[in-house]
């Protein structure tokens, strides 16, 4: 069975990996940078980290190349050896099979899936959920990584008109996701409280996480509805998504999240 879902998850946005159009660093350099961010997040008090191939734009819509899987596995394994807290994997734009393969290889605790059920239109084209394939693959390889699935994922629009509550129910109960993620419209943009409340009311028996836009100033309010947050941009140097994690911002975020209401 999947493990428990951490409450405070800090993002490690990998720079462009070898083979992607904008790559300028060696894999060894990328791994060192990932480990540095992981140490900062662990020392700040985060419960877990999530590794994502954020720099690989333009993204493959579904299956990524073998070298992407290999590079992410190397980075994730380096991070796992560096810190004691759990590690998660997100393979952009929407490759849960690759994410599970990386997770199985390095012992990651969870994966994020942008589109687990349904179909969305995005800049990559159509993103199609493959919950059936994903969960059968997880069982086949004996992986315990939990599936955290976005509902109305950012940077995309669902093709079928459907409320976020209805989408959440299908993701949880037909797609059998272990946890749900609600984000704003884009990276670093805040999730709407009404969306969080709608998903919480529709699916009260799954962990609910905020997937974008959380900050030290908003996290306490968000945690009155959500069970956890995934945060990246607001804890980076100068609040720039591609910058290194800022130790002071990371520590301030954790302090705000742990403070009493």
pLDDT in tens, the chain (261 residues): 455 789 999 999 999 999 999 999 999 999 999 999 999 999 999 999 999 999 999 999 999 999 999 999 999 999 999 999 999 999 999 999 999 999 999 999 999 999 999 999 999 999 999 999 999 999 999 999 999 999 999 999 999 889 999 999 999 999 999 999 999 999 989 999 999 999 999 999 999 999 999 999 999 999 999 999 999 999 999 999 999 999 999 999 999 999 976
Residues 26 and 18 sit within 8 Å (Cβ to Cβ)? yes
Joined tokens for residue 42: 């662990």
Pair type for strands 119-122 and 110-113: unpaired
Residue ranges per structural domain of the chain: 8-258
CATH architecture of the domain with range 8-258: Alpha-Beta Barrel (3.20)
User: In this predicted structure, what is the pLDDT of residue 61?
Assistant: 96
User: In this predicted structure, what is the pLDDT of residue 4?
Assistant: 76
Angle between helix 96-106 and helix 66-82 axes, rounded to 10 deg = 40
User: In this predicted structure, what is the pLDDT of residue 216?
Assistant: 97
CB within 8 Å of 25: residues ≥ 6 apart: 15, 16, 33
Joined tokens for residue 155: 């940077």
């Amino acid at each position: 069975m999947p493990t428990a879902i951490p409450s405070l998850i800090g993002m490690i946005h990998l720079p462009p990996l070898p083979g992607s159009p904008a790559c300028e660093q060696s894999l060894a350099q990328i791994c060192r940078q990932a480990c540095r961010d992981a140490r900062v997040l662990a020392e700040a008090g985060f419960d877990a980290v999530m590794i994502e191939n954020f720099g690989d734009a333009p993204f493959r819509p579904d299956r990524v190349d073998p070298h992407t899987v290999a590079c992410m596995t190397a980075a994730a394994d380096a991070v796992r050896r560096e810190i004691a807290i759990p590690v998660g994997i997100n393979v952009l734009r929407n490759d849960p099979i690759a994410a599970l393969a990386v997770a199985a290889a390095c012992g990651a605790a969870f994966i994020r899936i942008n589109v687990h059920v349904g179909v969305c239109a995005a800049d990559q084209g159509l993103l199609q959920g493959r919950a059936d394939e994903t969960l059968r693959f997880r069982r086949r390889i004996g992986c315990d990584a939990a599936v955290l699935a976005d509902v109305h994922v950012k940077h995309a629009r669902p093709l079928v008109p459907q409320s976020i509550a209805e989408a959440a129910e299908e993701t949880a109960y037909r797609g059998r996701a272990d946890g749900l993620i609600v984000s704003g419209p884009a990276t670093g943009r805040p999730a709407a409280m009404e969306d969080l409340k709608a998903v919480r009311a529709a699916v009260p028996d799954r962990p609910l996480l905020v997937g974008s836009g959380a900050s030290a100033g908003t996290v306490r309010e968000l945690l009155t509805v959500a069970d956890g947050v995934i945060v990246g941009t607001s804890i980076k140097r100068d609040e720039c998504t591609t910058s290194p994690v800022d130790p002071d911002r990371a520590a301030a975020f954790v302090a705000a999240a742990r403070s009493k209401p």
